[in-house]
Structure formats: C-alpha cells, structure tokens
C-alpha cells in the first residue's frame, strides 16, 4: 500500500541537499570570520571590505537556508501527520499526491497573504524565495529575518532565532522582554522623548531594543531575529562582534550600560534634596545629575566600609552597580542563595590598612552593604572560575543554588543608618527571569526561563522555541543570571 511517493522522495532529497548547503555555508562563514580576525589592519584595506561583503552575503545565504529549512521541516511534519491519518483511516494510498497538492495550495495561499498586495492575490504565486520574503519589510530599515509568522501566538511568547551562537543575547533579551516596566517604557515610545544625542551610541541601542520588544509583543510571530540590535551592539562593543559564543552576563552589563546612557537626560537638581549624604554625593557624581528610567530601574549602589580596629576611624567608598556577582561557596555541591549573599556582604579582616586616624598601618574590618536597592535586582551566580587544572583557563561550577522564587529578603544587606535614596522601595523581591547556561564554558548553550507577566506562569525561551514549564524547573544547576523585582505585579504606572 505504501509505495514510495515521488513527492516525498523529492522532499527528502531537497532536505538532504539543504543540510549539505548549510554545512558548507557554515564552513565558509567560519573561514571568512577567521580570516578577518587573523589579519590585523585588514579591516581598513580594500580586501578587508571585500571580505566583509562576502561575509554579509554568506550570512544572508545562511539565513535563507534556515528559512527554507523551517518551511521544509513544516512540510515534512504535515506530510507525516497526513500519512499517519491515512494509515489509521485505512485510506487508499493513491490519494496522497492530491492531499499533498492541497496542502501546498494552503501554504501558497498563506504566503500570498504575506507577500502579495490586495487585489493581486488570485493568481497562484510560486513558492517564495528568501529574497521575496525579505522585500516587503514593515519597517524599511530593520531586519527581523528569518521571521516566522504564526497563528494564535500568545502575547509576549515569541521566540528569537539564533544568528550563530547568539543564544546568550536571546536569553538576555527574553528576560528583558519579561521586565514589565521596561517593555512599557519601550513599546509606548516614552523613551523617545529622553533620547540622548550626546553619547557614544546616540540612542541607537534603545531604539533597537524597543523595536525588538515591540516585535516580541505583537503576538504575530512564532519567532523573529534581532539582526540590527546584534549589529549595533557589535559596533560599539567590540567583543560582541562576530559569531563566537559570548558570556550572557557581560552582554547584559554592556547592554544595560548602553541603554542607560541612551536615555540619560532627566536633569536632577541636587539642591532639592533634603539632606546630602556621602551616598547621595557619590550617586550624583556617577550620574552627573542626569538620570534615566533605566538607571532608576536597574541601578543600585554599594557601600564599602573599612574601619580601623584600633581607633575606629572608617573610610567609605560607594560604587554603582547594575548587577551583583556572587561567588559560590568553595567545595559545595549544593547551597542556598542566602549563603552566597552572606558571603558577598560578609565582613572580613584587612591587614595593614593605612589608617588615616592612626597615621600608620593597622588591622581593620571590611564590610560591604547595599546603600541603594534597585527595583530590578540582577544577580549573577559566578559559575566560571579560573582553574589551575584548566591551565589558566576557566572552568564551570555546576553547584546547585537554591534561590527563592518569592520573598528574597534584601533587608539584612541594606546599609544601616544610611540616608535612603529610595526610601519607599520594598526589600522583598520575587523572581521573574533566569538566564540558564548549559554545557561547558567552551561549548555551552543559553536558554531563558521567564515568568510571563500576562499569564503569571513560567515559560522556557530556547532561541526560537517557547514552551510552558513547571515552576519546579526554575531552580536548577544551570541557573546563571537571576532577575528579581520588588515591584508589585501590576505594571509600574498602574
């Protein structure tokens, strides 16, 4: 009954060919990138530009293959379903070609809707090539390809395509996409009235982040790619050029820094403060009396105190942070986040501190506190350690850290007797996002786990694949960057 169907054979043949093409393209791309980075001073020369052009061409081809591959895979899975149905329903095998044609008709019609303007959709169009898909971009100069449209896509649950080792970026963007105040700020275009034209990036990073957040929140796409954001970040952050695997925390730190500076235009008059404390002075020195929505959302301040054991003279230093990087307890396979926080904020002895009171070297205490808590608290679990066994390289620790999903209490770490910059901020935080790192330092993969503010349940964002997960999956040995907030569940502006 199941004679070899020529259509199936063709489809499989095409699939195999495509796989080979993808592999070849990958090798070419890799070689091109290597070439570019191996030769210093190459970038300015004519041959460098030519190579860059080649790479761009190869990247485009790679994307085209990817898109074609998705379409082929969809066709194959539809075909599989139909065959299964036929076998179950005992339908004669000779109906297969008809069913396939019908199915492709459907596909074509769907493509027509995407591609052909009103009034010309009657004529059956050929299967679209990549170039045709690319032309009618909604926003002229933004590239979200390969974007995959879908029906019944849930709000905020759009995946991000991998552009070649960009899972570090995707996992961070999904965590940011579940940061409600940021999404509101960007999708409402409120940021546009704050754009800073005097900084290095001139508002381009927040423009791109806003564009991709808008795309993720249209509920029209299964997945999109953020080519332009990747390009812009690479333009200003050298280490994020090319397609090498990167550290998600480094990317996040740089991105938040760019975003902050892109909208840092809110003038703050220091004279309106009731009381100027050293903490506030240090804060104003950092901001230069210009704040931003991003600063007020993600940035906090640490206070480091050294106190002489002899005369009790102390010295205080203040430092602004956009995330806390916590060490793991040595030799522990399982620990609690509180242990890491206690270690980080714990006091310790300092020998031979130059005491300004005693005017000589003294023994002293050292203590770290939070002087300003941010509404969004990002915590990095430092899993990557320089290891003697790795010959000066880094090694990954897979310690299981138990962290709370609700009620992370930061009160014990807040500096006592400090004038509070944000007195109304609650000290209890709830988790809403995790950037997970799987595998080793050399060959790893990032996925994000986020609690959707719409559905109030957890989802895993694995590049383009988004799926619901049980909250019991949130705490794991893969947890690398934690996103906490003390803000109420409803949006900031109510």
Question: What is the contact surface with Zn ion in residues (CB under 5 A)?
Answer: 308, 310-311, 313, 355, 357-358, 362
Q: Omega of the bond prior to 356 within 30 degrees of 0, cis?
A: no
Closest contact distance (angstroms) between CB of 365 and Zn ion is 11
Nearer to Zn ion, 315 or 325 (CB): 315
In the bound state with Zn ion, the residue whose beta carbon lies nearer, of 33 and 355, is 355
- Least Å distance, CB 304 to Zn ion, is 17
Residue appearing with tokens 């027509």: 112
CA–CA gap between residue 370 and residue 366 (Å, rounded): 14
* Minimal distance, residue 282 CB to Zn ion, in Å: 23
Catalytic residue chosen out of the listed positions 60, 106, 167, 194: 167
- Whichever of 27 and 310 has its CB closer to Zn ion, that residue is 310
Q: Quick one: 290 exposed, middle or buried, by C-beta within 10 A (0-12, 13-18, 19+)?
A: middle
Nearer to Zn ion, 13 or 352 (CB): 352
Residues 138-160, buried b or exposed e (16+ Cβ, 10 A)? Answer: eeeebbbbbbbeeeebeebbbbb
Instruction: Supply the minimum distance, in Å, between the C-beta of residue 364 and Zn ion.
Output: 8
Task: Let me know if 15 is a catalytic residue.
Answer: no
The smaller minimum CB distance to Zn ion, of residues 109 and 360, is found at: 360
User: Catalytic: which of 175, 335, 445, 486?
Assistant: 445
Active site residue 445: yes
Tokens found for residue 136? 């009618």
Task: Answer positive or negative: Cα dihedral of 221, 438, 247, 480.
Answer: positive
Q: Tell the smallest beta-carbon distance from residue 493 to Zn ion (Å).
A: 50
Nearest of 186, 67, 84, 88 to residue 132 by alpha carbon: 67
Catalytic residues: 167, 445
């Amino acid at each position: 009954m199941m004679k070899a169907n020529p259509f199936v054979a063709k489809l499989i043949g095409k699939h195999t060919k495509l796989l080979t093409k993808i592999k070849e393209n990958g090798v070419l791309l890799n070689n091109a990138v290597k070439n570019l980075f191996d030769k210093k001073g190459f970038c300015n020369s004519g041959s460098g530009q030519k190579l860059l052009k080649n790479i761009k061409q190869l990247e485009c081809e790679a994307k085209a293959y990817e898109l074609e591959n998705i379409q082929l895979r969809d066709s194959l899975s539809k075909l599989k379903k139909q065959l299964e149905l036929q076998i179950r329903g005992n339908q004669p095998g000779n109906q297969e070609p008809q069913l396939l044609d019908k199915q492709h008709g459907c596909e074509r019609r769907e493509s027509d809707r995407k591609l052909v303007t009103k009034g010309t959709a009657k004529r059956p169009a050929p299967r679209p090539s990549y170039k045709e898909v690319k032309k009618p971009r909604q926003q002229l100069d933004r590239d979200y390809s390969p974007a995959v449209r879908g029906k019944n896509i849930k709000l905020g649950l759009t995946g991000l395509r991998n552009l070649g080792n960009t899972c570090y970026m995707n996992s961070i963007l999904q965590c940011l996409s579940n940061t409600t105040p940021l999404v509101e700020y960007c999708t409402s275009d409120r940021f546009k009235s704050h754009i800073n034209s005097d900084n290095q990036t001139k508002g381009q990073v927040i423009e791109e982040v806003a564009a991709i957040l808008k795309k993720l929140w249209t509920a029209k796409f299964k997945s999109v790619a953020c080519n332009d954001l990747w390009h812009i970040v690479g333009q200003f952050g050298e280490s994020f050029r090319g397609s090498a695997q990167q550290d998600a925390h480094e990317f996040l730190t740089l991105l938040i820094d760019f975003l902050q500076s892109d909208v840092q235009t809110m003038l703050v008059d220091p004279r309106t403060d009731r009381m100027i404390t050293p903490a506030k002075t240090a804060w104003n020195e950092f901001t230069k009396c210009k704040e931003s929505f991003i600063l007020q959302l993600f940035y906090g301040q640490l206070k480091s105190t050294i106190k002489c054991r002899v005369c009790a003279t102390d010295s205080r230093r203040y430092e602004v942070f956009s995330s806390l990087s916590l060490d793991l307890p040595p030799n522990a396979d399982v620990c609690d986040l509180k242990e890491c926080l206690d270690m980080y904020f714990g006091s310790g002895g300092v020998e031979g501190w130059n005491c300004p009171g005693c005017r000589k070297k003294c023994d002293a205490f050292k203590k770290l506190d939070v002087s300003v808590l941010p509404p969004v608290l990002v915590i990095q679990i430092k899993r990557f350690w320089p290891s003697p066994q790795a010959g000066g390289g880094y090694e990954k620790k897979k310690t299981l850290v138990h962290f709370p999903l609700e009620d992370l209490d930061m009160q014990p770490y807040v500096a006592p007797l400090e004038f509070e910059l944000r007195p109304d901020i609650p000290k209890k935080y709830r988790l809403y996002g995790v950037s997970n790192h799987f595998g080793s330092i050399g060959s790893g993969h990032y996925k994000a786990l986020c609690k959707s503010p719409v559905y109030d349940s957890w989802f895993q964002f694995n590049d383009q694949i988004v799926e619901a997960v049980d909250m019991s999956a949130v705490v794991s040995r893969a947890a690398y960057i934690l996103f906490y907030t003390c803000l109420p569940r409803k949006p900031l502006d109510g």
